[in-house]
Structure 1
């Protein structure tokens, strides 16, 4: 059944995607705002997931471009992670209708609290690089798992990728944020391809929102590059705690 979407909804969701794009560029977690908005607009869950991935792909692509031009992404060292996060996302999207999200709805807030605690208490959460605890090749394992989660569920995937870049690869916070955009772009390409083949994507709405997402990501990525860890660190804490509160509310209110 085709859903008729009114013009005012196109305009309002496109405007909202500017905000979500900015949040995504700085700390990840834009889906916390966009997904409930799509569902509130009457869009079925599967279509909302598919359409959100489409607009997010263009937005994160803009951030990725800006971070690459600033020389903050070493994509040659992390090509294997790009591949595994792509494959993980494919598996995640294909699995979403076979697995229950209820358990994830309780487990993910616990992980997000851990991310927030790490950001608050770790002295490594600044822009200085430190000793890597995991090689770039070994890092492809955790990124594949995060890609699977991103394809299946999504909220907080960007925050997990940033924290992993700092904790496991020893990257400074801004460089870890930049790398997370490259990996997130790869997982979104996978999700858009699989959802597109399933026929669940609302292409006109998604492309309209993509214009807003690109604008928000452009502003957000330049802001993150300029202010670095002193902006990204508090933004990550706020996003992680907000996602935790939202997911716990959804779980216990259901």
Structure 2
């Protein structure tokens, strides 16, 4: 019964993640709800199996239809990979509670900024070049990669706003780059957590199949409807993340 429940959650997570990021909003709380007594590191490691499958599928679909600008995407990806592994290692040693309590406030600021800037992400106009672009990419990858390794929900949303605000991408191109970077963070965290025995592979593989199914639909919708659609979904996802993370941090 729990496997069926989590397969549905993984399907929805894959769909949401493929469009605008934030699939962890559905997938991770569902895992904690189904298995409240299991070690958090094991639940997060199992979630990474599903997330890696979904983001790989979405990255391939976007890569066939949308140009990926590697000048910013590649260094962000490499930095995020390394720091996601560091974050996953930290997850096995330190509590994530301080991060959990600060997350709703960070998301509120992100939402207010996105809604206030109505033109944000509507045009694709890359704004950085050369050393500045690489430095910004390495820093963004380090911060968001570490966060994804140690906790995770909202990683795709944070990456989206970085590619839109810092690098000047529209939401569709930002979504494509986000999937590539998120693939790296999921892979790094999964490798570390699997090496430490924090993955329930049977459940993870069931969820992976469902996540890929959702990812197929979500990426198709994003490619069909473009940046305006991705922006609207992004705003809805971030608003939902605020409610859910605030409840998790302060409502219990």
Aligned residue among 7, 12, 17 for 1:19:
12
Report the Cα distance in structure 2 between the residues aligned to 1:119 and 1:214, rounded to whole angstroms: 28
Report the Cα distance in structure 1 between the residues aligned to 2:9 and 2:247, rounded to whole angstroms: 22
1:29 partner SS: coil
Q: For each residue in 1:193-219, what CA deviation from the matched residue of structure 2 results, as whole angstroms up to 9, or x when unmatched?
A: 011101110111111111111111111
Structure 1 equivalent of residue 238 of structure 2: 240
Report the Cα distance in structure 2 between the residues aligned to 1:40 and 1:180, rounded to whole angstroms: 28
Structure 2 equivalent of residue 33 of structure 1: 26
1:228 partner SS: helix
CA apart distance, 1:104: 1.1
1:146 equivalenced with 2:144 (yes/no): yes
Aligned residue among 91, 96, 111 for 1:96:
91
Report the Cα distance in structure 1 between the residues aligned to 2:70 and 2:204, rounded to whole angstroms: 28
CA apart distance, 1:131: 4.8
CA contact (8 A) 1:81 1:136 kept: no
Structure 2 equivalent of residue 137 of structure 1: 134
CA contact (8 A) 1:10 1:208 kept: yes
Unaligned runs of 5+ in 2: none
Report the Cα distance in structure 2 between the residues aligned to 1:124 and 1:60, rounded to whole angstroms: 27
Q: For each residue in 1:39-86, what CA deviation from the matched residue of structure 2 results, as whole angstroms up to 9, or x when unmatched?
A: 121251222101001110000100000010013322365322111000
Aligned length: 247
Shift of the 249–15 alpha-carbon distance from structure 1 to 2, 3 Å rule, reads closer
TM-score (norm 2): 0.92
Structure 1 equivalent of residue 114 of structure 2: 119
Over the aligned positions, Cα root-mean-square deviation in angstroms equals: 1.6
Report the Cα distance in structure 2 between the residues aligned to 1:150 and 1:109, rounded to whole angstroms: 16
1:58 equivalenced with 2:53 (yes/no): yes
Structure 1 equivalent of residue 224 of structure 2: 226
CA contact (8 A) 1:20 1:34 kept: yes
CA contact (8 A) 1:124 1:130 kept: no
Unaligned runs of 5+ in 1: 1-7
Structure 2 equivalent of residue 5 of structure 1: none
1:10 equivalenced with 2:3 (yes/no): yes
The list of structure 1 runs, each at least 4 consecutive aligned residues, that deviate by more than 4 angstroms after superposition, is none
CA apart distance, 1:32: 1.1
1:78 partner SS: helix
Q: Bigger shift: 222-231 or 134-143?
A: 134-143
CA apart distance, 1:242: 1.3
> Counterparts of 1:46-85 in structure 2 under 5 Å?
46-75=41-70, 78-85=73-80
Shift of the 193–158 alpha-carbon distance from structure 1 to 2, 3 Å rule, reads same
CA contact (8 A) 1:131 1:169 kept: yes
Structure 2 equivalent of residue 3 of structure 1: none
CA contact (8 A) 1:125 1:229 kept: no
CA apart distance, 1:143: 1.6
CA contact (8 A) 2:101 2:249 kept: yes
